[in-house]
Amino acid sequence: MSSRAVTTRSEATARPAGTPPGRLDHGVRQRTRRSRVVTSMLAQGEPLMWLTGGGLVLCCVMIVGLLGLVFYEGFRTFWPQPVESFELVDGQTYWGEVSRSEEFSPEPSLLENLDPAAAEAARAEMAEHEGELRRHLVRTGNFDLTSEHFNWVSDYELVDGQPTRPEWAIVIERLSWGRFYGQPVAFLEDGDVVVEGADAVWDRYRAEHPVVRDRYDRMRHLETHAMARLNHRVEQARLERRQAELDHGLDSPEWRAADAAARQVEEETAQQFADLTDEIEALRAENARQAMRLETATGQTAEISLGEIVRAYPANQVSTWDKISLYASRWSEFLTDEPREANSEGGVYPAIFGTVVMTLIMSLLVVPFGVLAALYLREYAKAGTMVSAVRISINNLAGVPSIVFGVFGLGFFSYIIGGAMDQAFFAAKLPSPTYGTGGLLWASLTLALLTLPVVIVATEEALAAVPNSMREGSYACGASKWQTIQRIVLPRAMPGIMTGTILAMARGAGEVAPLMLVGAVKLAPELPIDGIPPFIHPERSFMHLGFHIYDLGFQSQNSEAAKPMVFTTTLLLILIITGLNLAAIWLRTRLRRKFVANQF
């Protein structure tokens, strides 16, 4: 039997009476053909799925690439590099660390101005590398001698085509003037040479430098702690005398008593100041007795006091373990010390402290107000024009540029509220402002206003996610509205509230523009919390890692030397924000486990 004569039961059932089988098959084929033509790929959703998936992959690649670059550059900043010697055909010699290397296409005039040997080497290199030349940015240091931190060196300028590594090239990190590169030739005490020769000088330096650093640390402790306590005592006595003058008038009994007390404090502290000054000067003079004489690549000599040396090492002789020790030492200094050399060297401990404290204060301020506002809007306020206007305003505030909040914080918090506080409580310090200028408290309040819409919106979403049946069950058991909110709604909305807190912390910790107006400064070694009464000083200016990154990247005198510090500080800021967020996420996870019946 022919296959065309066979029909299925469904076709026989669907065929109208009197319709020939061939005509029906032709109609089915026509409808099938039309359906295939009309159906679009967009209607099936597959292209949109691939498009959204591709967008997600692209975003992930961009984020991972950015974080990878920051992590790579940040972690390798403090790794010790060898010191290369670049001897040029024109007779110049540079010693230094290679900061980066790159290929470039030279201008035709460049080859015309070179001497024949260098021009021939350049043409040979261009022929080998498709018309490009290779050059290196060398950190040559010795700024006090050469007035330059970096120099460009091209391969065609080298005598032998390759740099060499001097055996006794010493890298010296100093308190000022940046790094120094040279070869030790003599060790001096009181200006007299006591040891000569690179080996002997280096052994003597390693024996003496730890003692010098101990004296330096003692000197810094006296300057920053002992002197600060004496200055605080004298200042408090002066302010009490000034306050007595404002309250009771000049030559009043109260003023005379305060004046006598202030004079007594000045007399008692004068001798203590003299003793501290003498001890500091003695330590400084003792550190200045010893010095190391070095010879640079150009033949110049320089004497560097051991008191000015932070650390030194023979870059081309250190072992892998020595490099690890140097790496750890630099990281320790970066995390625990104060900045130096216009913030391009040293540590960022004040910035770490200021960033963490400001973020925590901001979170403590914004969460209660944000939650209360969201509770009223969701649980108490009746829907109407006013509530709609408030919600629209909150959403609009989320899109206001952050610098606008900074201007508002400066005008309202610093000048109006802070000025009123100075007039009421700190009149004795005027015209020097106490709270009438930028400080940690005003910066935290400004960023709290900036992140308030985030907390309100997230809290409203969390409250809305709690089923009404749970509220009704609570009411049925006789609970009041507040008892229901306190014991039923808020605990189950807490994970969502923590989500808003995490978002607010992440945004507030990374903001810089408002802080430039309301408290963040380039250098503030005095922390907002110290051992001087009243121990907590929210009125003080502070350092912030975000502002520190801006200062390094755009305000530094030596931008090339500061560029690695930009990546390292950025890495540190990312890690701190991640740590704060992980702590909040951990707390949110515990709350979710407690109220697993309804997660947000």
Same domain, residue pair 116 and 216 = no
Within a domain: 17: no
pTM (2 decimals)?
0.84
Same domain, residue pair 506 and 580 = yes
Q: Supply the pLDDT for residue 94.
A: 92
- Beta bridge mates, 85: 95, 164
The token pair that represents 430 in the structure block: 């005027």
Same domain, residue pair 368 and 281 = no
What CA–CA distances, in Å, run from 200 to 169, 184, 195, 507, 546? 15, 9, 6, 55, 45
Same domain, residue pair 523 and 586 = yes
Within a domain: 430: yes
Same domain, residue pair 369 and 269 = no
Same domain, residue pair 398 and 519 = yes
How far is 514 from 521, CA to CA, in rounded Å?
12
CATH of the domain at 124: 2.30.30
| H or E stretch at 187 | strand 179-189
Instruction: Give the domain extent around 559.
Output: 350-594
Q: Supply the pLDDT for residue 598.
A: 46
What's the domain count of the chain?
3
Within a domain: 52: no
Same domain, residue pair 491 and 566 = yes
User: Could you list the pLDDT tens digit for every one of the 600 residues in the chain?
Assistant: 444 444 444 444 444 555 455 444 555 555 555 555 555 655 666 777 888 889 999 999 999 999 999 999 899 889 999 999 999 888 889 999 998 888 888 887 777 777 777 788 888 888 888 888 889 999 998 998 988 889 999 888 888 878 899 999 999 999 988 899 999 999 999 989 999 999 999 999 999 999 999 999 999 999 888 898 999 999 999 999 999 988 888 888 889 999 999 999 999 899 999 999 999 999 999 999 999 999 999 889 999 999 999 999 999 999 999 999 999 999 999 999 988 877 788 889 999 999 999 999 999 999 999 999 999 999 888 888 888 899 898 888 888 899 999 999 999 999 999 999 999 899 888 888 989 999 999 999 999 999 999 999 999 999 998 888 888 898 899 888 899 998 889 888 888 888 888 888 888 888 888 999 998 888 888 888 887 778 888 999 999 999 999 888 887 777 777 888 899 999 999 999 898 888 888 888 887 777 654 443
Same domain, residue pair 354 and 470 = yes
- Cα end-to-end span (Å), the chain: 67
Residue ending a domain, choose from 301, 317, 333: 317
Rg from Cα positions in the chain: 36
Same domain, residue pair 369 and 294 = no
Q: Supply the pLDDT for residue 545.
A: 92
Within a domain: 54: no
- Amino acid code (one letter) for 422: D
How far is 81 from 98, CA to CA, in rounded Å?
8
Within a domain: 74: no
Same domain, residue pair 113 and 160 = yes
Q: Supply the pLDDT for residue 107.
A: 81
How far is 544 from 28, CA to CA, in rounded Å?
75
Same domain, residue pair 581 and 451 = yes
Separation of CA 89 from chain center = 43
Same domain, residue pair 361 and 402 = yes
Q: Supply the pLDDT for residue 7.
A: 43
CATH of the domain at 382: 1.10.3720.10
Within a domain: 261: yes
Residue ending a domain, choose from 317, 340, 361: 317
Q: Supply the pLDDT for residue 445.
A: 94
How far is 524 from 279, CA to CA, in rounded Å?
26
Residue found under tokens 């006090």:
144
Given a contact cutoff of 8 angstroms between Cβ atoms, the answer to whether 568 and 77 are in contact is: yes
Within a domain: 175: no
Q: Supply the pLDDT for residue 525.
A: 82
Given a contact cutoff of 8 angstroms between Cβ atoms, the answer to whether 349 and 335 are in contact is: yes
Given a contact cutoff of 8 angstroms between Cβ atoms, the answer to whether 478 and 511 are in contact is: no
Sequence-ordered alpha helix ranges (H) in 289-400 = 320-336, 349-375, 385-397
How far is 526 from 515, CA to CA, in rounded Å?
17
Within a domain: 282: yes
Residue ending a domain, choose from 274, 294, 317: 317
Sheet of strand 150-154: strand arrangement: 84-87, 93-104, 133-139, 150-154
How far is 210 from 11, CA to CA, in rounded Å?
99
- Amino acid code (one letter) for 131: G
